[in-house]
Structure 1
Amino acid sequence: MVEVQRAIPILAKAYGDSMHKILHVGPDTCSVVSKLLKEKETKAWGVQPYDIEDADRNCKALVKKGIVRVADIKFPLPYRPKSFSLVIVSDALEYLSPRYLNKTLPDLARVSIDGLMIFTDSPGHRKAKVSESKYGRVTSLEENEATIKKFEHAATKMSYVSKCQNFHLMPFH
């Protein structure tokens, strides 16, 4: 998702030191991880939820090096709790049924130290509240109000207008 790549400077302002060890989850993870790896003092990994059969050489090289994994996110991620300072998810949750979404979101939060940033591709829809049980039972995740304010402030200063909804969630502690 190009949106994540556009938002990297704003994410850096909002998350600060949390931008040092990042996991990106989404169908465009190879290009997002490649861009993140160019950021100063940033290590990045990715989970590609779909097959990479048609992927370019760079993506296949990232998979071969173990930087990007191909994995079905409906099942637990192959990482220990608190493995990453920040988890960024894009275009990966919209297609999950409520049953799987309620398992996947807590698992994404489990591997994060400082939070979970979700980009959802649903422009034109009103911004949902995390507390609304749109996807079935409530997952006990809370929005990170402080990070939301930092993100919005940085976005305004940098004239960034998001083309999708985004959520900043607290990790499980």
Structure 2
Amino acid sequence: MRSIAMARRPGNPSRRFPDGGSKARSSPFLSIGLVVGALFLIGYSLNGSGGFGGNKEAVSRVEGDFSCTVEVQRAIPILKKAYGDSMHKVLHVGPDTCSVVSTLLKEEETEAWGVEPYDIEDADGNCKSLVHKGLVRVADIKFPLPYRAKSFSLVIVSDALDYLSPKYLNKTLPDLARVSADGLVIFAGYPGQQRAKVAEVSKFGRAAKLRSSSWWIRYFVQTSLEENEAAIKKFEQAATKRSYAPNCQIFHLKSYH
């Protein structure tokens, strides 16, 4: 479980003292206090701006703007190491899929498609172009996807299953596995990650239900989906080499055969 608590910003420990027309001698205790306060402020500033291992993702979690779709883009080099040839024909499912598809299309020998589960009226020109070309489509994932079985070598889903109740997960998750030939990768939020609740409800219809890894694993068993142990091992090895630490839960599942 990951969570980040907001820290109160410390006040400025330095104060001005009138010299009264002559040099005033400061107390040694005051000098020590000023030094300690300055060091504390420097440490706080570095930690908040990415120093000492801080990162933008950590800041975004606190502000309620966390996205596992952004995490997918970070993980693409690791996924390529883990899945190899299976990364040649990829379907991404989730909000802001245009950004993921655009990133994947820049990779050599990679074909990519996307499914946007929500409205994209405010999409930029690049996204509208992908929709026009048929590479990205808007579709309600509560219903069967308009693709034949095993249409894609790998299916990646992010920021979409967290918004589905078990009633709809029972239909959507098996369907995602159906259209994949070599595997299904799920990026899900950690319980405790903060989200913008008001914005979520207006866009997604409900707030995200961030579930634990044990809940997901039990659910995979119930739906007859097996974890892909070989892919998990390769992904972990590649992640270790690149010092990659995911900010989302990542599950590697086998396709239905």
Q: Do the structures match in fold with TM over 0.5?
A: yes
Q: How does 1:127-142 map to 2 (within 5 A)?
A: 127-128=213-214, 130-133=216-219, 138-142=222-226
Higher helix share: 2
CA distance in 1, matches of 2:106, 2:253: 25
Report whether the alignment pairs 1:37 with 2:105.
yes
Query: 1:121 Cα deviation (Å)?
Result: 1.7
Alignment RMSD, CA only? 1.6
SS at match of 1:5: helix
Partner of 1:156: 240
Change (3 A) 1:121 1:61: same
Report whether the alignment pairs 1:90 with 2:174.
no
CA distance in 1, matches of 2:84, 2:125: 32
Matched AA of 2:164:
L
Q: How does 1:34-113 map to 2 (within 5 A)?
A: 34-113=102-181
Q: List structure 1 runs of 4+ shifted beyond 2 angstroms.
A: 123-131
Higher strand share: 1
CA distance in 1, matches of 2:160, 2:136: 15
Could you tell me the percent identity over the aligned residues? 76
Greater C-alpha Rg: 2
CA distance in 1, matches of 2:255, 2:88: 16
SS at match of 2:218: coil
CA distance in 2, matches of 1:79, 1:133: 24
Matched AA of 2:96:
D
Is there any run of 5+ residues in structure 1 with no aligned partner, and where? none
TM-score normalised per structure 2: 0.64
Change (3 A) 1:121 1:8: same
TM-score normalised per structure 1: 0.94
Matched AA of 1:47:
V
Q: How many residues get paired?
A: 171
Partner of 1:171: 255
CA distance in 1, matches of 2:130, 2:74: 21
